[in-house]
Structures are given as structure tokens and as C-alpha cells.
Amino acid sequence: MQTLVFSEEIVKIFGIKIFLAAVGETLQHWMRVVLFHCGDRRADVRVQALEFLALILRLTWDSFGSFSRVRVPLIAVQIEVMERIVATAATRYYREQRRLQTPVQYLSNDSAEASLAPFWRTLNRLHNQSASHNVAFRSAQMRLAEKMKNLFRAYIAAHALAIVSRFKKPISPAINTADKNRNAAASNFFQNNLVTVHRITEGFSKQFLGSPGTSNHHDAVLQSEAIEDAFLSAADVFTPTELPSLRVACLGKLAGFQKGRSKICRRGYMSFSYPPNSARGSPFTP
């Protein structure tokens, strides 16, 4: 956290233009570090990270009249940062299961969303609690926060898809009924006793899964319209001139989802949304 404090003072002393020139191509890594601290479970770390981010946004706006120099690297790394936060929570979850010598259960979608609750709180503060009296700046900051919230929602949708796909895989015949019951009981135990942050998000897991609040996803029903809307909103965050590869990845994720549902007509439409030879690597890989 001291690094953020010192960095904030340096930016105040030398100005945003010298700061951007000094960091150069490492600006994206700076945004990655700042966003990761914005999702920290400690409130003081989150507040300091958000203050540093807000300072960079305000000075960038004052100097250039827009966020473009900072916005592009910021949204480019958001999904990566969210994946890292969830992966850290999953590691703690699996370590606790091994310590208690119980069958390993996957981290549920509710728990993944809960691990991102501090990050969501930061997005809310960025969206609703700007201290600036500049109406144009506040409007631009709100639009940026809305875009970041759309990416947040799309990540939760992708995580729900991954979990449902994992549980739809055939179960080995070697696993008998007693093993299944023991696994289910252990899953319920951990989901009820897992130490997480307060649930302050919008409850996106309940929007994407038909069986919210349960750790058993074998019978989960995906809410297709909500998932499609989430991926489309995420694709609209990017433009053909700003991070087009991430836009292609979002549309590719949507096309893959519709392919699994045999939506031939919609899949045909999606094929015209991006060239067939475009890169299809998806940032949504929980």
C-alpha cells in the first residue's frame, strides 16, 4: 500500500504527462496492479488504490480532455484481474478442504461472485461517489464505471457456464451412491462455512443460474437470455478501433454458447459480426 501512496505523491508533484511518459508501455501493468488492489479484502487498501486511480483519471481528463490514454489499458486487464482474484479464493478454498481431508469441491458461482464483492464495491464507488464538480468529467467517469460493471457481469456469466459445463460431464461408474452423498454433504458444509466477504454485488449468479444459492449445479438451469445479454453488453464495451480482439473474444464466447444451444439462426448472425479468421482467444476463461 505504501507504493500506492508514494506513487500518488509522485503523480501530484510531476504531473500526469511526465508520469505517462515515464511508465511508457508498462502503463497496462500499472493498471493491472491498481485494479488488483481495488479488489483487496482490506478496505484501507481498496480506498488507497481507488484514490490513486481517481487521481490518474482526473489529471488525464484535465490534460487531454478524455480518458482514452488510461481507459484502454484499464479495461484491457480487468478480466485478467478478476480471474486472479477468483483463483486466489479458489486456492484458499481447496487448501481448507485438503486440511479437513474432505472431497475436493469446485468453487461455486456464488462463492466466486462473493470473492469479487470488494472489487464490485470499488466499482460502485467509482460510479456513484465522484468528488468532482465537473459535470462532463463525472459523466465520463460514470460511463467508464458502467463499462467495467458490464465486464464484471460478463465474467460471472462465463464462470456460471464453466461450472455448469463441468458438472454436466458424465460421472465415473466407480463413484457409488455413498460417495456422491458424501461429496454433496461436504459441499454443503463448505458452502455454509466458507468465510467470504459480505454479499454486496447485484446477485448476478441468481440471474444466470436457475438454481441460485445451492452448491449442487448438476440440476442447474442456465438463464440463456441473461447470459446472452451479458456477453453482448461486454462486447459493446470494446470497439472496432479500441481493443477489437477482446470484442471478437466476447462475440466468440456468445457464438459458442449459442452453438451449444443449437441456435442456428443466431449463430449465423454472429458469424457476420466478426471475420471467420479473427482471433478467438477468450478473456473469459475461469
176-206 tens-digit pLDDT: 444 455 455 445 544 544 444 444 556 787 7
Residues 89-138 pLDDT 10s: 999 888 888 888 887 777 888 888 999 999 999 999 999 988 788 999 99
Q: What pLDDT band is residue 233 in, cutting at 50, 70 and 90?
A: very high
Residues 27-66 pLDDT 10s: 999 999 999 999 999 999 999 999 999 999 999 999 999 9
- Rounded to whole angstroms, the Cα distance separating 232 from 245 reads 15
> Domain coordinates of the chain in residue numbers?
1-76, 82-286
pLDDT of res. 284: 64
Q: Are 38 and 127 a contacting pair, CB within 8 Å?
A: no
Helix (H) or strand (E) holding 38: helix 27-38
Q: How many CB atoms lie within 10 A of CB 119?
A: 25
Task: For residue 25, give the DSSP letter.
Answer: G
Q: Are 7 and 52 a contacting pair, CB within 8 Å?
A: yes
Residues 245-254 pLDDT 10s: 999 999 998 9
Assign 161 to helix, strand or coil: helix
pLDDT of res. 178: 47
- Rounded to whole angstroms, the Cα distance separating 252 from 65 reads 33
Lowest mean pLDDT segment, chosen from 11-15, 137-141, 185-189: 185-189
Which tops the pLDDT comparison, 212 or 138? 138
